């Protein structure tokens, strides 16, 4: 009987080991070779990079290839770039995204531009890093609809990919963690700064903005007027134009506190997060219509009017949302200012010459 | 052997826990008292009368003030022509338009079923249409934006919940209800300061808004004695007792005294 028990104990221990190694693969997913120093453009702070995934020239190139590779989807029709299209500033221009088999999602595709600076990813902040984020859309049934095992197997079948993975991370071939790390490193290079606004504020080029844009900027940062920068933050030496937090501004609010989308609430179960969504950065905002998590606002003017009216009342409305008295000129100035946030498009982030 | 001994009691424990949960669940429906079905009051339409009336103002006819929409040039264009203040509209002969008339008392203990047909507010030409409206408690209110600009409708109820909601060009209609009697609920647009309307929420279907000739009609009333109340934005509220008899028109002539 004792022997049986020992056998059982061993089996349990082995099963546990297998389970653990299944989650965290024994194969290293840390890129090998010299780290590539990503230089953020004017207006952006230094990047914070996880020590276990330092970007290298090879990992960035591999991530770029994966980003544009349709093989990460069930029917080889959708890549990351389908909804994060570089031509549309890494969005899809749709109200909400269209995924596998014509499925329609529930949220507006956020640009991946400057996502490297976000502590929490997705509209609801459900991923804590770019690495963690990368895997979600691949297996989401209404997005790319492909299990991670199949993605790994499909890529591993391609000898060129297998070689690229080995070159980037060392022996071990294709793993999910390596796919995530490469995609994250590529995304860390998709940065937008050096806008007219940045040249005005951080380089002191007084004529970089028009008088209307300067008036708009003053309204933007005035807590008694636009009060925009309370959430779309501007610091002394850089401007992320997001506080990286979730707020309820009333978009999607129905009668008596009902919401079409509960936003961050399922993640935190905090009442204040009912109908709350992560503040998007406003960089390149004039290039990323339509707006809000549900794409319900078509133009920047609509957005300014939405805030001017005090959003939509509901029991969880953020205390910073209130009616703002803005003249037509003020609103025009705000829109003009938002247009000054269009950055210099980053280099080497389009589809690679040979998609492999 | 040890393993088995451990497994059996724990399985039992799990089962008994489940048993508890199941028992609780099956017991819960009996614990909630069954709400008695609401008995709606049905009007016997074979035996009804009508209140007809007119509303007049004996004071000096106000001069209509021009509304300045220049704050939003898109509104100036959308309104198509001049806009005048409608807070007191009196015709040449003293007839008062946009007065809200309703039965305030006389239906105690009676519950009327709310209609499912919505009452409409249109935001057109940066103007609420109509200026004054009645709605039965529980009846849907449907808010439409026909304008090329965003509006933010804001009914400022004190008995009913206060709310505001943004509505962009081409957005879906907003549907809301007012569960409690409240005369009147002032409504504004949070974006366009000149936009105003008023909603009278009443728990019976006997309400009307006077026309340009100051007239109103409350048909199909059960015979009885009622308190008829009239509200006008600038002139305030007047009340009077009125007797309704079967097959007859009871006439109410209501005059606001002016200075």
From the list B1, B169, B191, the residue facing A309 with the nearest CB is B191
Looking at the fold, whether A237 and A104 belong to one and the same domain comes out as no
Q: Is residue A351 part of a domain?
A: no
- Tell me if B166 and A305 make a contact (CB, 8 A cut-off): yes
pLDDT score at A26: 80
Looking at the fold, whether A182 and A200 belong to one and the same domain comes out as no
What are the average pLDDT values for consecutive 10-residue runs of chain A, which has 356 residues?
48 45 70 97 97 98 97 96 96 95 94 96 96 95 95 96 96 97 98 98 98 98 97 98 97 89 96 97 97 96 96 96 93 98 95 71
Looking at the fold, whether A182 and A38 belong to one and the same domain comes out as yes
Looking at the fold, whether A231 and A166 belong to one and the same domain comes out as no
Q: Treating both helix axes as pointing N-terminal to C-terminal, what angle do A130-139 and A148-156 enclose, rounded to 10 degrees? A: 90
Q: Which of residues 300-329 of A touch B (CB under 8 A)?
A: 301-302, 305-306, 308-313, 323, 325, 327-328
What ipTM, to 2 d.p.? Answer: 0.85
Closest among A263, A233, A229 to A247, alpha carbons compared? A263
Nearest CA in chain A to B176: A255
pLDDT score at A341: 98
Looking at the fold, whether A220 and A104 belong to one and the same domain comes out as no
Looking at the fold, whether A150 and A249 belong to one and the same domain comes out as no
Work out the angle at residue A316's Cα, subtended by the Cα atoms of residues A310 and A320, and round it to the nearest 5 degrees. 45
**What distance in Å separates residue A308's CA from the closest CA in chain B?**
6
CA distance A166 to A149: 18
pLDDT score at B25: 42
Q: Which domain holds residue A77?
A: 28-187
Residue A348, strand partner residues: none
pLDDT score at B32: 60
Q: Which of A158, A187, A216 is the last residue of a domain?
A: A187
CA atoms within a 13 Å half-sphere pointing along the CA-CB vector of A227? 15
Q: Which of A134, A162, A187 is the last residue of a domain?
A: A187
How many structural domains does chain A have? 2
Q: Is residue A10 part of a domain?
A: no
Looking at the fold, whether A164 and A210 belong to one and the same domain comes out as no
Looking at the fold, whether A100 and A148 belong to one and the same domain comes out as yes
Looking at the fold, whether A283 and A147 belong to one and the same domain comes out as no
Q: Is residue A20 part of a domain?
A: no
Q: Is residue A13 part of a domain?
A: no
Which parts of chain B have pLDDT scores under 70? 1-33, 259
pLDDT tens-place string over residues B50-59: 999 999 999 9
Q: Is residue A333 part of a domain?
A: yes
pLDDT score at A58: 97
Q: Is residue A22 part of a domain?
A: no
Looking at the fold, whether A127 and A209 belong to one and the same domain comes out as no
Nearest CA in chain B to A331: B72
**What distance in Å separates residue A282's CA from the closest CA in chain B?**
21
Chain A interface disruption, residue of B123, B152, B172, B179, most A CBs within 10 A: B152
pLDDT score at A103: 93
CA distance A265 to A276: 7
Q: Is residue A162 part of a domain?
A: yes
pLDDT score at B258: 80
CA distance A125 to A87: 25
pLDDT tens-place string over residues B3-21: 444 444 444 444 444 433 4
Domain with A33 in it: what CATH number?
A: 1.10.760.10
CA distance A29 to A37: 19
**What distance in Å separates residue B191's CA from the closest CA in chain A?**
5
pLDDT score at B52: 97
- Token readout for B2 is 């040890």
**B177 contacts in A (CB within 8 Å)?**
255
Work out the angle at residue B47's Cα, subtended by the Cα atoms of residues B42 and B52, and round it to the nearest 5 degrees. 100
Work out the angle at residue A310's Cα, subtended by the Cα atoms of residues A312 and A117, and round it to the nearest 5 degrees. 90
Looking at the fold, whether A83 and A168 belong to one and the same domain comes out as yes
């Amino acid at each position: 009987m004792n022997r049986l028990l020992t056998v059982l104990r061993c089996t349990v221990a082995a099963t546990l080991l297998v389970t653990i190694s299944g989650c965290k693969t024994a194969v290293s997913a840390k890129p090998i070779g010299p780290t590539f120093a990503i230089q953020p453009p004017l207006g952006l702070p230094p990047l914070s990079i996880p020590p276990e995934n330092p970007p290298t020239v090879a990992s960035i190139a591999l991530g770029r290839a994966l980003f544009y590779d349709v093989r990460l989807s069930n029917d080889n029709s959708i890549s990351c770039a389908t909804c994060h299209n570089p031509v549309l500033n890494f969005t899809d221009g749709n109200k909400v995204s269209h995924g596998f088999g014509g499925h329609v999602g529930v949220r507006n595709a956020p640009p991946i531009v400057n996502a490297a600076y976000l502590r929490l990813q997705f509209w609801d902040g459900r991923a804590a890093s770019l690495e963690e984020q990368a895997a979600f859309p691949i297996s989401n049934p209404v997005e790319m609809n492909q299990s991670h095992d199949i993605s790994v197997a499909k890529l591993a079948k391609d000898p060129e990919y297998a070689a690229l993975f080995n070159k980037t991370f060392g022996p071990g071939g294709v793993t999910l963690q390596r796919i995530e790390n490469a995609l994250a490193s590529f995304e860390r290079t998709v940065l937008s700064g050096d806008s007219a606004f940045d040249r005005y504020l951080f380089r002191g080029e007084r004529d970089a903005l028009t008088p209307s844009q300067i008036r708009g900027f003053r309204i933007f940062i005035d807590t008694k007027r636009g009060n925009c920068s309370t959430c779309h933050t501007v610091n002394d030496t850089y401007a992320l134009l997001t506080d990286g937090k979730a707020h309820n501004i009333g978009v999607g609010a129905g009668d008596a506190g009902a919401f079409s989308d509960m936003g961050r609430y399922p993640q935190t179960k905090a009442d204040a997060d009912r109908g709350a969504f992560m503040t998007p950065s406003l960089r390149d905002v004039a290039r990323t219509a339509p707006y809000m998590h549900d794409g319900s606002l078509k133009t920047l003017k609509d957005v300014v009017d939405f805030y001017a009216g005090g959003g939509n009342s509901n029991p969880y409305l953020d205390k910073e949302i209130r009616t703002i008295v803005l003249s037509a000129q003020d609103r025009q100035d705000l829109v003009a200012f938002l247009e000054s946030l269009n950055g210099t498009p980053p280099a080497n982030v389009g589809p690679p010459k040979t998609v492999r | 052997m040890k393993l088995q001994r451990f497994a059996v009691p724990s399985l039992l424990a799990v089962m008994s826990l489940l048993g508890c949960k199941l028992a609780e669940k099956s017991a819960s429906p009996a614990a909630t008292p069954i709400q008695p079905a609401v008995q709606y009051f049905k009007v016997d339409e074979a035996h009804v009368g009508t209140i007809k009336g007119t509303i007049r103002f004996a004071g000096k006819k106000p001069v209509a003030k021009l509304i300045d929409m220049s704050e939003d040039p898109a509104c100036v264009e959308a309104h198509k022509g001049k806009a005048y203040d409608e807070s007191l509209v009196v015709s040449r002969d003293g007839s008062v338009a946009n007065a809200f008339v309703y039965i305030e008392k006389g239906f105690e203990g009676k519950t009327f079923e709310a209609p499912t047909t919505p009452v409409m507010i249109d935001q057109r030409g940066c103007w609420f249409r109509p200026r004054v409206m009645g709605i039965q408690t529980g009846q849907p209110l449907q808010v439409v934006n026909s304008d090329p600009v965003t509006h933010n409708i804001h009914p400022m109820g004190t008995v009913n919940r206060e709310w505001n909601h943004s509505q962009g060009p081409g957005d879906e209609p907003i549907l809301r209800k007012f569960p409690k009697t409240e005369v009147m609920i002032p409504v504004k647009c949070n974006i366009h300061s000149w936009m105003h309307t008023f909603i009278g929420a009443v728990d019976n279907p006997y309400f009307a808004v006077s026309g340009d000739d100051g007239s109103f009609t409350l048909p199909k009333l059960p015979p009885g004695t009622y308190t008829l109340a009239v509200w006008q934005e600038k002139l305030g509220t007047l009340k009077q007792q009125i007797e309704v008899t079967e097959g007859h028109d009871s006439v109410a002539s209501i005059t606001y005294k002016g200075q």
